[in-house]
């Protein structure tokens, strides 16, 4: 039951190929996380042990979850996606059991990444106002985490993502020695992301992706996805509204006008 709820099916696999514009971050993730994990013989020195905690932080929709998923699939690790709401919605006692079950499952199926999105909602700075149950759950989580961290033979990595790293407890930050900042994409990065998102689409010659990237300053990867989706759907709507039967075999290419309209809508 718990395994089927938490373990992500392989069909959701993400690879580096699915991520645009984050070449440097991917390179660093490979060097500091993946290589030490998959080459235990080469990295057997104490100084080169793979990290047991990795933090990805930055604005929403910029690829933190994609990076975590791809790290798992590129290193052949299982991926447990621990939704904070699952832990915090449970009754006291039940959530403690769940936390213990997560770590025990991770150890059983290792190598494994335990991914916690919005980790700040769960493991934020401890205050005097924390409910007793919350405080207990946090310290139990930390001791379970320490349990895997002290075992050199254990290939379980906790990966957290947050938009607000400053809200994180210093005890958590200490357990996450590898920290990656994932910023809003700059113009060349936006162009790479657009190129990736449109790689299998039919796009007319009047669409210049460099110019489009220049017009989307401040867009996240997720905003760019929404832009492409909005532009793409215009053609479907046209077909539906034409009332022509039978439906055509294919859709027309996406044009500059489709992107202009989509941009106007989104902005
Ligand atoms: P949040 O902080 O809101 O959880 P996030 O940083 O984890 O956001 P993701 O969930 O990884 O963001 O990205 C959301 C969607 O945006 C992805 O499914 C993908 O469609 C698109 N996306 C974001 N960044 C990129 C990127 N660098 N390359 C390709 N697609 C991207």
CA dihedral 146, 152, 153, 154 (to 10 degrees): 30
**From the CB of residue 251, how many other CB atoms can be counted at a distance below 10 Å?**
15
In this structure, what DSSP letter does residue 59 have? Answer: S
Token pair in block for residue 124: 């934020």
Pocket test for ligand 1, best of 61, 85, 213 (most atoms within 8 A of CB): 61
pLDDT in tens, 39-84: 877 777 777 778 889 999 999 999 999 999 999 999 999 999 988 7
Residues with CB under 6 A from ligand 1: 19-22, 60-66, 117, 161, 163, 193, 196, 221-222, 225
Looking at the CA of residue 56, tell me the nearest atom of ligand 1: 6
Q: Interface pTM (ipTM) of the complex?
A: 0.98
Distance 195 CA to ligand 1 centre (A): 15
The confidence score (pLDDT) of residue 169 equals 84
The confidence score (pLDDT) of residue 210 equals 98
Alpha carbon nearest to ligand 1 atom 10, residue = 65
- pLDDT band for position 248 (cuts 50, 70, 90): confident
């Amino acid at each position: 039951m718990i395994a089927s709820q938490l373990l992500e099916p392989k069909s959701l696999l993400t690879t580096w190929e699915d991520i645009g514009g984050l070449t440097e971050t991917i390179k660093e993730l490979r060097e500091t996380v993946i290589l030490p994990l998959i080459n235990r013989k080469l990295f057997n020195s104490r100084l080169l042990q793979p990290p047991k905690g990795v933090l990805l932080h930055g604005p929403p929709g910029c690829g933190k979850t994609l990076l975590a998923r791809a790290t798992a699939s590129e290193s052949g690790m299982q991926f447990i996606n621990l939704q904070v709401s699952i832990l915090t919605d449970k009754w006291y006692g039940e959530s403690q059991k769940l936390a213990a079950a997560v770590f025990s499952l991770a150890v059983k199926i290792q190598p494994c990444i335990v991914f916690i999105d919005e980790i700040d909602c769960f493991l934020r700075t401890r205050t005097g106002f924390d409910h007793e149950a919350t405080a207990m759950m946090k310290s139990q989580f930390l001791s379970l985490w320490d349990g895997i961290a002290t075992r050199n033979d254990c290939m379980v990595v906790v990966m957290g993502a947050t938009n607000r790293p400053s809200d994180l407890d210093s005890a958590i930050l200490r357990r996450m020695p590898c920290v990656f900042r994932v910023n809003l994409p700059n113009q060349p990065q936006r162009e790479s992301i657009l190129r990736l998102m449109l790689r299998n689409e039919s796009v007319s010659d009047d669409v210049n992706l460099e110019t489009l990237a220049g017009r989307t300053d401040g867009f996240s990867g997720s905003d760019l996805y929404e832009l492409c989706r909005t532009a793409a759907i215009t053609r479907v709507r046209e077909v539906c509204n034409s009332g022509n039967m039978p439906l055509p075999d294919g859709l027309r290419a996406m044009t500059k006008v489709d992107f202009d309209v989509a941009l106007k809508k989104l902005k």
